[in-house]
Amino acid sequence: MLEHFQQQQIQVNGVTINLRRGGEGPPLLLLHGFPQTHVIWHKVADELACHFTLVMPDLRGYGDSSRPPGEPKHVNYSKRVMAQDMADVMQALGHTSFFVCGHDRGARVAHRLALDHRQAVRKLMILDISPTRTMYEATDKTFATMYYHWFFMIQPAPVPETLIANSASFLLRSTLGNWGSNGAQFIDAAAMAEYERCFCRPDAIHAACEDYRAAAGIDLEHDRDHDTNRIGCPVRVLWGEHGVVGKLFKPLQDWQAKCELPVSGKALPAGHFIPEQVPELLLPEMLDFLR
């Protein structure tokens, strides 16, 4: 998978970031989410590479990137630190300004990247999230039921780590199937095998929990700057009409409140995993916005 792209590992910000890169044109950083890796882009990467120089990393804690133990207050998995990883990676590759597209947790990293590194991010595409703070502040029984993992994975270690490790493959496949809204048939066997290889190990499970613990704590502290610090670049948001975000939130309005410029976007006929479920619909949206 992604055999046309060069694999590379870069040491930045105290961790090693694994990535694939290739293509021609202006740089485009693609950021995956939970519980996946950079492989989520495999259905759109070849076409995108005809127009952009792609950089597809594994976020810290995911894939074959470093999975450091969590620190007090989970600071080393804050989106601010993870965004710094990505800024440093792009700088190491010679890209001082670039486009960004992020899905799920990767979109949360991309959000912080656009705030903390305003001069670097030229345009931002966000896939199937509303802002973290907005979603937590709107929590009710329906949201807590549908996104139970937001509240389960933030419990103190080693409770969620131990329970997930008892059947990590089951949780992974259940998550991909349920959030896909129509099972996990859209995920190629090779991609599923890669997700299982990377997720079903104790240090990866711990890292994912730390990611969510940071989101419920230190990230919310950092997000208080939204009242005065808004995204300054053009933003387009896409979401799955059958997913939780599409059903419970108003992504266009939610993101407009965080941005200086008008936000564009729309729902696509998908669940959560847009890059793998409807790549044929995502591609023209990306090309239209980013070119």
Active-site residue numbers? 104, 272
Q: In whole angstroms, give the CA distance from residue 32 to residue 211.
A: 13
Which residues touch 253 (CB under 8 Å, ≥6 apart)? Answer: none
Q: In whole angstroms, give the CA distance from residue 156 to residue 5.
A: 39
Provide the H-helix boundaries in the chain: 45-48, 79-92, 105-116, 132-137, 141-146, 149-152, 159-165, 168-180, 189-199, 202-215, 218-222, 244-248, 251-256, 274-277, 279-290
Q: How far is the CA of 218 from the CAs of 63, 135, 250, 274, in angstroms?
A: 23, 15, 24, 28
